[in-house]
Amino acid sequence: MIDLNHIDDLARRLSELVPPGLRESGGELQASFRSALQAGLGRLDLVTREEFDVQRAVLLRTREKLEALERNIEELEARLRAAAASRPGDPG
């Protein structure tokens, strides 16, 4: 799901932002940041890039089908109007 290397890198960056006087326990601080980040991200309702791409493709196909159906309906409605207009004496 989430690349742990990214979390480690972010934890390292956060520990570097801590003032130098508090960095003495840098490894412990970085581990705390890593744990907090993993816990926070674990609670989020995230999907993988692959899942996102699959759903995006499904949505695009659905949109194409919908647009085709709309064109078909418009064509059928136009035919009905033309047929109604061509009938003599029909109020149409």
> Are residues 55 and 73 located together in one domain of the fold?
yes
Share of the chain above pLDDT 90, in %: 39
Q: Are residues 54 and 74 in the same domain?
A: yes
| CA–CA separation, 71 and 69 (whole Å) | 5
Rounded CA-CA distance 16/8 in Å is: 12
Q: Which domain holds residue 85?
A: 47-92
DSSP 8: H
Give the distance from CA 50 to its chain's centroid: 11
pLDDT per residue over 26-81, tens digit each?
677 778 888 888 888 778 888 888 999 999 999 999 999 999 999 999 999 999 99
For residue 3, give the H/E element and its range: none
| Residues 7 and 20 occupy one common structural domain | yes
Q: Which residue matches tokens 């690349």? A: 3
Total tally of structural domains belonging to the chain? 2
Tell me: do 54 and 77 sit in the same domain.
yes
4 and 34 within one domain: yes
Same domain assignment for residues 40 and 55: no
